[in-house]
Amino acid sequence: MRRILVIKLGALGDFVQGFGPFAAIRAQHPAAHITLLTTRPFAGLAEASPWFDAVWHDGRPSWLDLGAVARLAGRLRAGRFERVYDLQTSPRSSRYRLFVGRAAEWSGVIASASHPHANPQRDAMHTVERQRDQLMMAGIVNFPPPALDWLDGDLSSLPDLPPRFALLLPGASPHRPGKRWP
């Protein structure tokens, strides 16, 4: 069985925008064992999704915490991944290439990637288009719409909700004021 690692460490909006790429990766590798490396806030959501066989939530240890970095490096090395889809494409996630090993195929922005996302316009692209472009450069051409039925939950404990409603939670991380609603 092929072993695949997907890296997605970002915030909630970035994680949700990854649903399409997650579905495309699963469709491309239906029989593979796919592991997601993410952060603790998204572990439960990812575990409930239909796209991953395993979810690791220790993806962003402080570089000053050498013990945690060493544990992550050991875990990534022991994972024996054959292909990595780095959907985070940050300097941090690119460094994980050193932990995984050069034998693994890598889709991302690091210079040593076997499937580099080499589009010079990538930084001007919306996340959805950028990740689709990245996956196309890695050989994925089927982009099924992501199933969302697994997100359905029991709302019976909430008081008198109308049959159709929406909940908006505007916000952004403290270090990204440009993403905040006015």
Give residue-wise pLDDT tens across range 55-69.
Answer: 999 878 999 999 999
Give residue-wise pLDDT tens across range 153-165.
Answer: 787 888 888 888 8
Average pLDDT of the chain to the nearest whole number? 92
Hey, what domains does the chain have and what are their CATH numbers? Answer: 3-146 (3.40.50.2000)
182: confidence class by pLDDT, cuts 50, 70, 90: low
Q: What is the pLDDT of residue 58?
A: 85
Q: What is the pLDDT of residue 180?
A: 72
Q: What is the pLDDT of residue 104?
A: 97
Give residue-wise pLDDT tens across range 66-109.
Answer: 999 999 999 999 999 999 999 999 999 999 999 999 999 999 99
CA distance 84 to 87: 9
